[in-house]
Structure 1
């Protein structure tokens, strides 16, 4: 592992090689992505494909039943779970029972891409955490990050130590607002007035999570790494789903949480740099990042 508070260079990553599983697809881990409400099935698809692009072996997409058929046709490499949904098309918390049957074979799970109802998402996370093995890594993205503030304390405690978060700037601010609530006003801990000034470190510490945000990786212990790549062109619809998918894919391959976060953040940023050089600094699409991920990964592992 590179020293804490280090700039992550290609040389540093090469000295911190990813696991290279032998054998077939099962040796590279099974990824379960839970998301894809009726209004945003593409988010789960982007995340799942990113997981495969960084080397995960098997993919299952758990999405709202109204879009499950089209998702299965669009991503033929995946298995699909059809999830119950609300009248508005959101994934319903009652779908937890169907998802639980897939938890036992998963090497890592991602919750959030394409979910669009905070209350249903919070209830869904709480149910899944109680059923998942205590060492199963869990990545939360998008609406699942926003739901953290509504989780019961028991669910937060069960997540601590195996949780990874990928908040964008807005999600980071919303989490900080939830943390600033007076003690006793919600189900989670308040931040207090003497917490660390660094908001990313505060949240990593409070939730016992490895956090990747704005090309920075922070651990609950306060270790930090910066990725000197990427640019504003990555601020495009679906880009965060690609990052979260790359992260869960590396976890499935056997990378430790901190290593997976550092590598995924660098891969995502470097993929954006490659597209900027070819397409332009603005205007490339998140789905175009997918093709760049294995190329950057191969270069780093050369």
Structure 2
């Protein structure tokens, strides 16, 4: 377990030395991101994650969400292919949605699972479907209810060699750890990375299963707003889609998320800005590192 002193601080200088890939060519060179989530009552989570992926550089966006929300999402995000998934009587995405989702997963370059999902058992079935359909080297970002599902099957990723990034908040970290997180979030992120064989981004604390760790120190209270985590998960997916490796994408996403919030402070103050207002700041934040 790394000591806090072993954890690198994420700075513009560190990121400049770890430059993001700059794909050339058309949109296909920047990859396809598929976001799977969005129950009947929380379709906005998929919207936030998807648009964040585009803002971070993804070339093609696909959204798979509860069938009752698909038409509205396709109007709100005209840049995306939107696919409606079967839902339960309570409006949750069904864990047995058929071949269409499996085909989309198989063809995607990055898959994000979790934003806006509900019902843990349905999410567990959905997570298995995604992991079974995805290529063995297709990066997967797990967020929100997908992390709760993973906590019920802690060995699901171990030994798979699959590139995975987990993006828990403190509540989700508690489920993954099986206890309350301590104050040293560097250590908690490292424990999760080791336990689940995945890169972990716990707020601004990033850890890789190979023992490396980083910390973003400029995040502020304003990021603690509804939908902010969905933006962070989508941002990560977009960076993976353009060719970043998981730990690199997690560090860049932690920085871009935090600094995009800082850029809103002069207009809105330290708290009070909305998660959707982070989206327009992302490209400039990344470009000016």
Stretches of structure 2 that go unaligned for 5 or more consecutive residues are none
Deviations 1:267-291 (A, max 9, x none): 0000011112321001000000000
Determine the structure 1 residue equivalent to 2:124. Answer: 122
What is the distance in 1 between the residues matched to 2:18 and 2:124? Answer: 35
1:148-167 equivalences under 5 Å are 148-151=150-153, 153=155, 155-157=156-158, 161-167=162-168
The residue matched to 1:61 in structure 2 has which SS? strand
The CA distance in 2 between the partners of 1:40 and 1:205, in whole Å, is: 32
Q: Which residue of the partner structure matches residue 174 of structure 2?
A: 173
**In structure 2, distance between residues paired with 1:161 and 1:66:** 32
Cα distance, 1:178 vs. partner? 7.2
What is the CA–CA distance in structure 1 between the aligned matches of 2:142 and 2:99, rounded to whole Å? 19
Alignment match, 1:189: none
- Report what 1:21 is aligned to: 23
Matches of 1:146 and 1:274 in 2, distance apart? 32
Q: 1:160–1:207: 8 Å Cα contact kept in structure 2?
A: no
Contact 1:130 1:158 in 2 (8 A): no
Choose the corresponding residue for 1:214, options 181, 185, 203. 203
User: Counterparts of 1:81 and 1:179 in 2: how far apart (Å)?
Assistant: 37
Aligned 1:259-298 pairs, distance under 5 A? 259-298=248-287
Deviation at 1:4, TM superposition (A): 6.1
Cα shift at 1:107: 0.9
* Aligned position for 1:240: 229
Report the TM-score, using the length of structure 2 for normalisation.
0.93
SS of residue in 2 equivalent to 1:39: coil
User: How far apart are residue 10 of structure 1 and its match?
Assistant: 0.6
**CA–CA distance in 2 between the matches of 1:162 and 1:51?**
17
Q: Hey, what's the Cα distance between the residues in 2 that align with 1:220 and 1:299?
A: 30
In structure 1, the partner of 2:90 is 88
Cα deviation, residue 35, structure 1: 0.4
Note if contact 1:46-1:242 (Cα within 8 Å) is conserved in structure 2: yes
Q: Of 189, 198, 209, which aligns to 2:187?
A: 198
Report the alpha carbon displacement of residue 19 of structure 1 after superposing the two structures with TM: 0.5
Q: For 2:209, what is the secondary structure of its paired residue?
A: coil
Moved over 6 A (4+): none
Match of 1:231 among 217, 220, 224: 220
SS of residue matched to 2:35? strand
Cα distance in 2 for residues equivalent to 1:105 and 1:24: 17
The answer as to whether partners of 2:200 and 2:206 remain within 8 angstroms in 1 is yes
Q: Secondary structure at the match of 1:101?
A: helix
